[in-house]
Structure 1
């Protein structure tokens, strides 16, 4: 009789879940398990409402906005809510009251009659005081990682690598210089060190994300002074600069944010001087290149697969401004958060003269 009731409850649940935010549930998910059913009900509620009360409070204290990666993940070029969540797995952990939730965000294109996948995302579901709460996958994924504290940085080191003490010392030196330049005290930094962008994305919860395999290096500066490095390195000054600018200049235009980060920390595997030489070569080979048409930092415009042109151009502009006007004037425009064009105007640069001024500066 109990078995029959469980089957009936499972069938009723399968009928009702489709009315929630969850588009489909894989047959591998055990719908006879009472904890699974409670998790699915709460998951449907969370995906529908994005209610922060359904997320562990401790995550907000550590990450500020722990589920921002999936806040608008359903939206895309095909429209809002195009990518619908499908529950792929509910995976047990070593704790009876904790499970891994694996969700795919999939859209159907009626014109091509094909399914398009946006991402596969993991998060943790825990039962506390009879209720289900979600949390970021990174806490679970790094629970057995090695921690190493050096000055103001706490490193969490992937088991796929060993800490590089030379890079750690180099990072400490750069942080000292950054604190002097920005005229502020050092602050605690938590640094996740992974071997690749793929592993970095996995820490953020993604089994698949369209950006996971586009670059050989990269990483993230997260709220509350967190770095997630995919560079197989304990040195990542570019992203550390973003922590300083986020703290000091919350309105900074993203174009100049990437510029000042590239000026101090280069981009990818190479420092600013290396990138600057590549830009000189690029401009020589492309005399008609118009800087004014390429202020979009998300534009995938690379030279020799290593130099992100918008980043490096912005870095050179930052250097020009520092030399000609001083850092106080630069800090002023960082604080204002004006458009790129407005900022350049304040330094007597515009569409008519910016290309000649940039090229002339690079010759010096």
Structure 2
């Protein structure tokens, strides 16, 4: 993997060679443009970036990942414009297989006001030669080609060489999966769990040498389509993200507020469980008597207490617990299914701006 100190080199390359006929802003002189394989890759890459047509991607990727290149859809947009970050081809790197090469892209924009180049991401994908055509593929299989694989009941673990495999955490995860299947009244399903040591390693699996979010937190991960969990918690246990696999199957219209809430209710958030989070929420509400939960229903708001408790997540989790205790889980499931806004869903449980704070505090005994 290339490190961020390579970015200075990228910035120098930015305006060296323009390819106006394709949607490639520049190509590094390190790319051998006389090589026939590379010529095909550059042509196909330009056409793919211009259209984002799935015909340029391996069909097998769609069967495993559903949306294999979703990470770069819209990546060119930013506060400085919809097409501010333009793709530059950094390198085409040979692999141990003759028909596959790594394609390394940088997404860079030029700020005319500050006269400076800004980089948003460096992204890798695999170019595969199939007959006389080039197809692209996700980077994750190449990145994990030397990882250990462990099969535990319905879970297939892919274990980073950087970490130790914990059977204790595996057993804990299997127990939680049994509980979730009973709660959601559904059969267990295959889960593909990539176990890494940090969010930085998570983003590398997703193809990024650099992404601004890969250094934002010390823990975290993703639940992906088709039963994939990528964990950056240095653990074989990540119930929060596994809950998202259940909700995506059973309640595809669920509002993100409730989706994160029910995941936090069962799996906590980050390294801490739900009970720990509720203790922190009670302390937060005590120290902030004027806090209005109704003004913070955006579950992605980065509002933390003591750097560890994500307030909107925990508020939603407590509301889920409160609703289950008062109305039963089936009533909560009906809200998950209907796809209404958070405000509309809360009305179902007689909650509004006028009483949500008092009901929340009463339930928590604050």
Pairing partner for 1:338 from 320, 336, 340:
340
Residue 298 of structure 1, CA deviation: 1.5
For 2:18 and 2:245, how far apart are their aligned partners in 1? 45
- 1:191-202 equivalence runs, <5 A: 191-202=193-204
Q: Among residues 120, 129, 132, which one is paired with 2:131 in the alignment? A: 129
How far residue 15 of structure 1 moved from its aligned partner, in angstroms, is 7.5
Residue 77 of structure 2 aligns to a residue in which SS? Answer: coil
Whole-Å separation in 1 of the counterparts to 2:217 and 2:321: 26
Q: TM-score, normalised by structure 2?
A: 0.94
Residue 149 of structure 2 corresponds to 147
Partner residue in 2 for 1:277: 279
Aligned pair count reads 351
Which residue of 2 is the match for residue 26 of structure 1? 28
Equivalent residues in 2 for 1:148-163, closer than 5 Å: 148-163=150-165
Residue in structure 1 matched with residue 319 of structure 2 by the alignment: 317
1:295 paired with 2:297, answer yes
Distance 1:15 1:294, change over 3 A: closer
Q: 1:350 aligns with which of 349, 352, 357?
A: 352
Q: Secondary structure at the match of 1:143?
A: coil
Question: Match of 2:48?
Answer: 46
Structure 2: gaps spanning 5 or more residues: 1-15
For residues 155 and 18 of structure 2, the distance between their equivalents in structure 1, rounded to whole angstroms, comes to: 49
Local SS of the residue matching 2:212: coil
Shift of 1:339: 0.6
- Cα distance in 2 between the residues matched to 1:360 and 1:331: 24
Alpha-carbon distance, 1:19 to partner: 2.3
Stretches of 4+ moved more than 2 A in 1? 14-19
Query: What runs of 5+ residues in structure 1 fail to find an aligned partner?
Result: 1-13
| Residue 243 (structure 1) aligns with | 245
1:129 Cα deviation (Å)? 0.6
CA distance in 1, matches of 2:104, 2:17: 21
Q: Quote the offset at 1:144 in angstroms.
A: 1.4
Per the normalisation by structure 1, the TM-score is 0.95
- Following superposition, the deviation at residue 110 of structure 1 comes to 1.1
For the structure 1 residues 93 and 228, does the alpha-carbon distance in structure 2 shift closer, same or farther, using more than 3 Å as the test? same
User: Aligned with 2:213: secondary structure?
Assistant: coil
- How far apart, in 2, do the equivalents of 1:316 and 1:177 lie? 19
Residue equivalent to 2:59? 57
Deviations 1:48-69 (A, max 9, x none): 0111111111111110110010
Supply the distance in 1 between the matched residues of 2:283 and 2:118 (Cα, whole angstroms): 40
5 Å-filtered alignment, 1:178-193, equals: 178-193=180-195
Q: Distance in 1 between matches of 2:361 and 2:245?
A: 31
- Helix, strand or coil at the partner of 2:121: strand
Write the mapping of 1:161-240 to structure 2, written as runs, cut at 5 A: 161-240=163-242
Which has the larger displacement, 306-315 or 32-41?
32-41
CA-to-aligned-CA distance 1:67-110 (integer Å, 9 cap, x gap): 01011111122221111000111111111221101101111111
Q: 1:308, 1:16 → 2: CA distance?
A: 45
* Matches of 2:317 and 2:18, distance apart in 1: 55
Instruction: Quote the residue 1:253 is aligned against.
Output: 255
| SS of equivalent to 1:107 | strand
Contact 1:18 1:24 in 2 (8 A): no
Task: Give the aligned CA root-mean-square deviation in angstroms.
Answer: 1.1
